[in-house]
Amino acid sequence: MPELQNCPNCDKLFVKALRPVCDACAREVEEKFETVYTFIRKRENRRASIEEVHEATEVEIDLIMQFVREGRLHLSQFPNLTYPCEKCGAKIREARLCVNCRDEINEGLQAGEKQKAFEDRKRDRERARYQTYSALGDKVRREKP
Ligand SMILES: [Zn+2]
Ligand SMILES: [Zn+2]
């Protein structure tokens, strides 16, 4: 039995296949891609930004960004098709975050792990110290006449 699902775009039921949206929506996306590609391929438009492409073609910025992200619009040919990093707004051409923000997040994760290890060690040390103190206390008490 083919698996049916609602198209996330138009809510119509469709057979879930390779595409995440229904045929009609997929076709629409393809048409929009063609519109964008036809526009940007022209020599005078190659340096257009996403906003300029959007204004000229009326294709949604999100969709143009998706084409860029999917690598369908090659940035070696269209150098200004960048979009803002979701964290700092830097111009990027892949993923959702710029390299700096991705590094920062990775470092943050690593720092988090380090912090946890540090706290574990600190707790162990405190426990050890406490045991030493109480041992010492016993000794002092014992040594008192
Ligand atoms: Zn649809
Ligand atoms: Zn960033």
pLDDT in tens, 6-37: 998 899 998 887 778 898 999 999 999 999 99
Q: In which band, very low, low, confident or very high, does the pLDDT at 144 lie, cut at 50, 70 and 90? A: low
Residue 16 and residue 25: Cα distance in Å, rounded? 13
Q: Which two tokens stand for residue 113?
A: 């792990």
Specify the pTM.
Answer: 0.63
60-90 pLDDT, tens digit per residue, is 999 998 898 888 988 788 989 988 899 999 9
Tell how far the Cα of 83 is from the centroid of ligand 2, in angstroms. 11
Closest ligand relative to 86 C-alpha = 2
Q: How far, CA to CA in Å, does 96 sit from each of 5, 47, 120?
A: 27, 22, 34
The alpha-carbon radius of gyration of the chain (Å, integer) is 29
Closest ligand relative to 104 C-alpha = 2
Between residues 143 and 121, which one has the greater pLDDT? Answer: 121
Look over the chain and give the mean of its residue pLDDT values, rounded to a whole number: 87
13: which strand partners? 6
